[in-house]
Structure 1
Amino acid sequence: MEKMERKKLLFVSLMMFSMFFGAGNLIFPPLLGQLAGTNMLVGILGFLISAVGLPILAIAVVAKTGGLHILASYVHPKFAIIFTMLIYLSIGPLLGIPRAASLAFEMGISPFLSATVAKSNIPLFIYTLVYFGIAYWLCKSPTKLVDRFGKVLTPTLLVLILSIFVFSLFKPIGILGGPTGDYRNAPLLKGFLEGYMTMDAIAALNFGIVISMTLKEMGVKTEKGLISSTIKAGSIAGLLLSIIYGILAYLGAVSQTVFGPTENGAKILTNVVFHLFGQKGSVLLGIIFSLACLTTSVGLLTSCSQYFTKLMPKISYRAWITILSISSMIFANIGLTQILKFSVPLLTAIYPMAIVLMILGFLNDFFKGSSYVYLFAMICTSFVSILQSLGEFGIRVKVLNYLPFYSKGLGWTIPAISGVILGIIYSSLSKKEFGKNQMKFYIRKEDKA
């Protein structure tokens, strides 16, 4: 098994950090801190379990199985094609990438525009044209992402965020206030649910292909070497994410008694930065949001383009990044409100399935790789998640309200566990041996060849 140099491993970890750390990751923790108050530590612990633990688990599973498509094929080959395509489209050009570009504009450019200019669509168009032009240039050479992200962009982003924290120590903002809402009685669960809503686990499934390719370029060729290096780099990236999330939650917590209740994390950060640096703070905040959004967009564009290149090899990788960059720019200019009407229900449907799939991949040896376990668990999970997504369109099934944790958005958990149990029982009773996934492992060998 190859061993990577510590320096190279660190740079890969920084690249992974930057791909995960987008605008949503900037604004969730400060709001958590403000609402949790004195219960911040318990709340952030729950947040870290889902916002850091699940993505690292996803990275490990993707490395272990050889990719999202192969993992999904354990359920059924046709399911693998449809599900994987939906994952890449939803977290990519249909929502994740346009949302990142729009938020970068709102936080980095919009504050400097006059009221008259802000009403025009031209500034957003010009910004997204430049934004996706830079993203396209970075995506052209995915093997250079370690150098560009790990050595330049990520360290810059980390220094800027740490500078805010350091200044807050010399110029105290306020004190911790009392917890509000669900953070009073169930801060751990509430924090978990907030981290769950970042949906970084789906992003991790997407980024697996980029990470694997990067490690291979660095000389890691064996399966054991790829798995080991991926998990090590993911753990370091997870540690960095945990530190930054803790800092952002702290800034939100100490702002409560000074600025009072604030509607979102972006506004909290704005108040904190202006308090510490004055009007010049808007420049700092704009740079932070722009860097965070850009690196995430590049990671998503790269992973989506590489997937679709494998799916349709007649269209080149550069053609795909061109197609996805242009389509993402168009969606960013159409408006997120319209995109969310379609994309959020789609994510509501597929995100629980993605979580169950990665957990099953991690526990594959426990149930001896039985295809029935994958199939039954996915049927039970998808039944609930799809019906729940229909609720976004006003089509509600009242019987689902009786499911445990349904009101918290976790109604799929008990059905998923039930599906696993049914799959294990059915597999043990069946005389046919479908449990070894021979066809799937054959796909893995073909993929390596």
Structure 2
Amino acid sequence: MNKLSKKDLVFISLMLFSLFFGAGNLIFPPFLGQTAGNQSWIAMLGFFITAVGFPVLGVIAVAKSGGLNNLAKRVNPIFAAIFTVLIYLSIGPCLGIPRAGSLPFEMAVSPYLPQGVSKTLALFLFTLVFFLVAYWLSLSPAKLVDRMGKVLTPILLILISLVFIAGVFKPLGGYGQPTGDYMASPFVKGFLEGYLTMDTIAALNFGIVIAWAIKSKGVKDEKVMVSASIKAGVIAGILLVIIYSMLAHLGATSGGRFGATENGAQTLTNVITYIFGKPGALLLAVIFTLACLTTCVGLITSCSQYFMTLTSKISYKNWVRILSLSSMTLANMGLTKILAISVPVLNAIYPISIMLIVLAMVDNFLKGNSTVYSLTILFTGVVSIVDALGQVGIKLGFVMDLCSKLPLYSQGLGWIVPAIVGLILGVIIKVVKEKFANNKLVESADIYAEIR
């Protein structure tokens, strides 16, 4: 079969949405709304770019390039090997998967533990059950569309919609005043908050899962697979915008009633408790767990499929076992430690991921030119890595002083101008080389004609 039915496309799109939509995606929009207040929609525009736009483009870029490794090889084979492994490790067993396992416990279970119950033991038991379920679901990637697209994702969407509709009939209040960075630059702050979803990086991983899902429906033609991947990415992106908007609105209306909170989990807890009372705690626990479980399964699946290509000695199922066990172990470090590590790592590799996607989108013009890719990624990476090192206390002297003078550096976007400069410089070199090569061909042709 060389055509994907509309029904299968919808279910694959729902599966992709669920892969993107973890607990982080659940708590960042309401916290943004609560903190940004009447500037929420300006901030959300920035958030949509990094939390929806680039993830969707990432799925398209990977589909059009035939995989993340092929895309990264346009920069350099060595870069491709290092960057691809780093992406899969950071979004997978080192950060993304443990975060997905610990978040639902910290946000929906820990606050309601009876006095005297050991939090350490409770976390271990919760993550044990959580990762056993994730392990079972990940063992059969061909069944992910049926299990996630047809069952888990619709349940999650219904529950979130229920909270939003209930909030409409039992309104919390009006939008409050913006605080912090949302007062001066709401768009930029929203743009940076989108980093924390990790979805642009995840999109580079999930391309392989979507390809497997489409193949499981009998599609073999590469053009049809690319087309279906693009359509699934767009549909999933539209769903993300709708759900994020609902959550941001709920958060914004909660600011006047509850005041400032420390994080989005508290914001969402206040909202759901106000609407549903104490039974809302159970609803919140189910929503958090489902959101994290679907993302966790997607990450385990994609990482296992990738690492399986690196060595034939370890099977897919064994990689699932290794990643599930190691992620459960790291999840028991606690959410605070995981987040402390994840922020600087994300700040280092997120800009590089964004520019790889941008380059892939204009590759019809670039034709995979390694000079353009290399210079763009080099200029981007130097600034983003220096910035990330500075966040963990590693100062690089004059290099950091030089970077700090870049436009938007203080706002966390110092890499943008160097990225543009690298791209333009690479294109100029490409055009000059092509013109020089064409002139050589003309001269050769003229000499040949004279000889004749």
1:440 aligns with: none
Aligned to 2:191: 192
User: Contact (CA 8 Å) 1:60, 1:230: kept in 2 or not?
Assistant: yes
Q: Is the contact made by 2:31 and 2:263 (CA closer than 8 Å) also made in structure 1?
A: yes
In the other structure, the counterpart of 1:373 is 372
In structure 2, what is the equivalent of residue 403 of structure 1?
A: 406
Aligned residue in 1 for 2:449: none
- Confirm whether residue 420 of structure 1 aligns to residue 423 of structure 2: yes
Aligned equivalent of 2:271: 272
Matched residue, 2:448:
none
Q: Does the CA-based 8 Å contact 2:106-2:335 persist in structure 1? A: no
Distance 2:53 2:341 in 1: 28
Q: Are the aligned partners of 1:111 and 1:282 in contact in 2 as well (CA < 8 Å)? A: no
Distance in 2 between residues matched to 1:194 and 1:8, nearest whole Å: 33
Instruction: Give CA-to-partner distance per residue, 1:33-78, whole Å, 9 cap, x none.
Output: 1122222222222211221100000000000001101100111112
In 1, the alpha carbon distance for the partners of 2:185 and 2:347 equals 23
Does residue 178 in structure 1 map to residue 182 in structure 2?
Answer: no
Structure 2 residues without counterparts, runs of 5 or longer: 438-452
Number of the residue aligned with 1:437: none
Which residue identity is paired with 2:265? A
| RMSD, aligned CA | 1.8
> Residues 38 and 341 from structure 1, CA distance in 2 versus in 1: closer, same or farther, beyond 3 angstroms?
closer
- In structure 1, what is the Cα distance between the partners aligned to 2:286 and 2:119? 23
Amino acid in the other structure paired with 2:432: L
Letter in 2 for 1:127: F
Give CA deviations for 1:292-345 in whole Å, capped at 9, x if unaligned: 001000000000000000111221000001000010011011234444454433
- Relative distance call for 1:212 and 1:37 in structure 2 (3 A) is same
Q: Percent identity?
A: 58
8 Å CA contact 1:104–1:289 kept in 2: the answer is yes
Larger Rg: 2
Aligned counterparts of 1:26 and 1:324: Cα–Cα separation in 2? 24
Residue 340 to residue 254, structure 1, CA distance change in 2 (3 Å) = closer
**Rounded Cα–Cα distance in structure 2 between residues aligned with 1:153 and 1:176:** 32
CA drift of 1:362 comes to: 1.1
| Counterpart in the other structure of 1:144 | 143
- Which residue pairs with 2:25 in the alignment? 25
For the 8 Å contact 1:101–1:294, the answer to whether it is kept is yes
In the alignment, what sits opposite 2:446?
none
Query: C-alpha distance in 1, partners of 2:197/2:310?
Result: 27
1:389 match: 388
| 1:207/1:299 contact within 8 Å kept | yes
Question: Residue by residue, what CA displacement relative to the aligned partner does 1:145-169 show, whole Å, maximum 9, x if unpaired?
Answer: 0001111100111111111111112
**Number of the residue aligned with 2:445:** none
The AA in structure 2 aligned to 1:139 is S
**CA distance in structure 2 between the partners assigned to 1:147 and 1:96 by the alignment:** 24
User: 5+ residue gaps in structure 1?
Assistant: 435-449
Matches of 1:41 and 1:251, distance apart in 2: 12
> 1:256 & 1:2 partners in 2: Cα distance?
51
Superposition deviation, residue 220 in structure 1:
2.1
Letter in 1 for 2:406: L
* Contact kept? 1:38, 1:179, Cα under 8 Å: yes
Matches within 5 A, 1:78-97: 78-97=78-97
Aligned residue for 1:197, secondary structure, equals helix
Stretch of structure 1 that moved more, 101-110 or 246-255: 101-110
- How many pairs were matched up? 433
Cα offset for 1:370?
A: 1.1
Q: CA offset at residue 198 of structure 1? A: 2.0
Q: Is 1:231 equivalent to 2:230 in the alignment?
A: yes
CA–CA distance in 2 between the matches of 1:398 and 1:214?
A: 48
Q: Shift in Å at residue 431 of structure 1? A: 7.1
The aligned residue for residue 45 of structure 1 is: 45
TM-score where L is the length of structure 1 = 0.93
The corresponding residue for 1:447 is none
In the TM superposition, what whole-angstrom CA distance separates every residue of 1:79-106 from its partner, at most 9, and x where no partner exists? 1111100000001111111111111111
TM-score, normalising length: structure 2: 0.92
Question: Which residue identity is paired with 1:91?
Answer: I
Tell me, in whole angstroms, the C-alpha distance in 2 between the residues paired with 1:224 and 1:131.
37
**Greater shift in the superposed pair: 190-199 or 162-171:** 190-199
Give the superposition deviation at 1:401.
1.2
Rate the CA distance shift 1:407–1:197 in 2: closer, same or farther, 3 A: farther
With 309-318 and 395-404 compared, the bigger mean Cα shift is at 395-404
Q: 1 CA distance for matches of 2:219 and 2:165?
A: 38
Residue 412 to residue 338, structure 1, CA distance change in 2 (3 Å)? same
- 1:130, 1:432 → 2: CA distance? 62
**5 Å matches for 1:205-220?**
205-220=204-219
The letter for the 1-side match of 2:423 is V
Residue 446 of structure 1 corresponds to which residue in structure 2? none
Q: Which amino acid aligns with 1:31?
A: F
Aligned equivalents of 2:290, 2:341: Cα separation in 1: 27
**Structure 1 residue 71 corresponds to structure 2 residue 44:** no
- Give the Cα–Cα distance (whole angstroms) in 2 for the partners of residues 197 and 122 of structure 1: 28
Secondary structure, aligned partner of 1:310: helix
Q: In structure 1, what residue type is equivalent to 2:237? A: G
SS, match of residue 366 in structure 1 = helix
Residue of structure 2 equivalent to 1:59? 59
Shift of 1:188: 2.6
Equivalent residue for 2:440?
A: none
Which amino acid is the alignment partner of residue 75 of structure 1? V
Alignment partners' CA distance in 2, 1:342 and 1:170: 41
Instruction: Give the letter for the 2:20 counterpart.
Output: F
Give yes or no for contact 2:50–2:191 (8 Å, CA) kept in 1.
yes
What is the aligned partner in structure 2 of residue 163 from structure 1?
162
TM-superposed deviation, 1:432: 11
Distance 2:431 2:252 in 1: 52
Question: Deviation digits for residues 394-443 of structure 1, max 9, x if unmatched?
Answer: 12322211111111211111111111122122233347999xxxxxxxxx
Distance in structure 2 (CA, Å) of the matches to 1:267 and 1:336: 15
CA 385–185 in structure 1, closer or farther in 2 if over 3 Å, else same = closer
Residue 113 in structure 1 maps to residue 116 in structure 2: no
Letter in 1 for 2:203: A
CA distance in 1: counterparts of 2:260 and 2:344, whole angstroms: 29
Alpha-carbon contact 1:2-1:222 (below 8 Å) kept: yes
Distance 1:433 1:265 in 2: 57
